[in-house]
A and B are shown apart, each in its own frame.
Chain A
């Protein structure tokens, strides 16, 4: 169980403090996928950084399996927007980096690595460097690194947004395939509504205003075969869009009022 309770994060920026998240609450069962969707600047990435153990200064509590987030003790796989591959390591070394740091001297499971390479279609690319790979291939390497670690929680920050539409759909399928075989808890941030509906069993819509959760939806369409071409898929996407837009216009109204107030 991943439990976030009354999470608030404030940034210190140029002497002014800025609230990125306010009293955020969220629960996620083990082995569940959760897509967080919301406009830019709503605090999505901040939330991920807290979950990944990168931001350590926050109020409230964040627990993974009943324990506070300590990267040292838990296994957290984090895939940033740019995939987080180290340019000086080849594919093989990049994939092994996670287990290498986590397991130290323990021998790793070589078979698991071979299976993952197969599943992600990376066979034959082991000796290439990230610069020699396409965006889609880099993304696959990042996924391989994360899955090899068998993390307690996998956190992904807009992992597929830099890819073209066709590659994106392909990798989303690959991701779901691999995820089914390992079933790790996963939280991903996205601004594509379709991606959220396709990959999230739970969909969290963040409010544009002051880093709070607007709506949490249990996605009935998650994992349904060939759902992308289904009428229901489009309908759910439309509903989500409506919720986001309503929230957005509310926020704009508020901004305008605030602007008028300060003008007086």
Chain B
């Protein structure tokens, strides 16, 4: 599918979702389901002055959490995938801690790291890092042995192996893991932003809800889903750019 057509599909799917929403709103005709048009008009009025700052806070927390997860997760994944011993030692630890619902640790994290930015970023980090580790590790493990042979016979060092084989080979896996983890991260971020902050989409939406301002609440939800759209779109874009060879 051409790039242009992929872009057009984004518009079409937005229209479909808005249409469904419109029908639901006019069918039920309740204040709890605001019509999309009213929400869009409201967004136009309050986005620059009120919501923008909240969405930037949320975006920053996600980006910081993801970066932290990448910095920790990628080297760990490579080591576990390439060095058998590393995997033997670290796998049980990863398996033991991976299934813990990270949200259940929120009180502990908040007590240890305070109510501010750090605890929110750490939550996102903890959710994403495991997926990154496992995906990168399995990506490295699935490289056939024969792929290394020409490099071994050239006398390639570990750095060469990393640069020429491990990094490009595991990149698609890594981006997929990021995509999978991102949705969870956004939902958890929403939850953490209802505590100890005056900024973030979570705060904005919950605050609007408390004030029974459904119009603002829906505006917040729309912005949050747009943040998601931007993040997923960015990952797709990176994949097209960096894993170009895959689609040949």
- Chain A: residues with CB nearer than 8 A to chain B? 49, 52-54, 70-74, 76-82, 84, 86-90, 97-98, 101-102, 129, 131-132, 145, 149, 155
Top 7 A-B pairs, shortest CB-CB distance: A71-B155, A78-B153, A72-B155, A52-B153, A84-B150, A88-B168, A131-B248
- Chain B: residues with CB nearer than 8 A to chain A? 146-147, 149-156, 160, 164-165, 168-169, 243-245, 248
Most central of A73, A74, A97 by chain B CB within 10 Å: A97
What residues of B have a CB within 8 angstroms of the CB of A149 in the complex?
A: 154
The A interface is mostly helix, strand or loop, or mixed, namely loop
What residues of B have a CB within 8 angstroms of the CB of A131 in the complex?
A: 245, 248
What residues of A have a CB within 8 angstroms of the CB of B245 in the complex?
A: 87-90, 129, 131
Known A-B contacts: A81-B146, A84-B147, A132-B248. Give 13 more (CB < 8 A): A71-B152, A77-B153, A86-B147, A88-B169, A89-B245, A97-B150, A97-B151, A97-B164, A98-B154, A129-B245, A129-B248, A131-B248, A155-B153
B170 CB, nearest partner CB in chain A, Å: 11
16 contacts between A and B (CB under 8 A): A49-B149, A53-B152, A53-B155, A54-B152, A71-B153, A71-B154, A71-B155, A74-B155, A77-B153, A78-B153, A86-B165, A89-B164, A90-B245, A98-B150, A101-B156, A102-B155
A11 CB, nearest partner CB in chain B, Å: 14
Docked-complex contact B149 and A80, CB < 8 angstroms: yes
- When C-beta atoms are compared, the residue in chain B nearest to A71 turns out to be B155
B158 CB, nearest partner CB in chain A, Å: 12
What residues of B have a CB within 8 angstroms of the CB of A54 in the complex?
A: 149, 152-153
B242 CB, nearest partner CB in chain A, Å: 9
What residues of A have a CB within 8 angstroms of the CB of B147 in the complex?
A: 84, 86
B81 CB, nearest partner CB in chain A, Å: 16
Determine the distance from Cα of A102 to Cα of B150 in the docked complex, in whole angstroms: 12
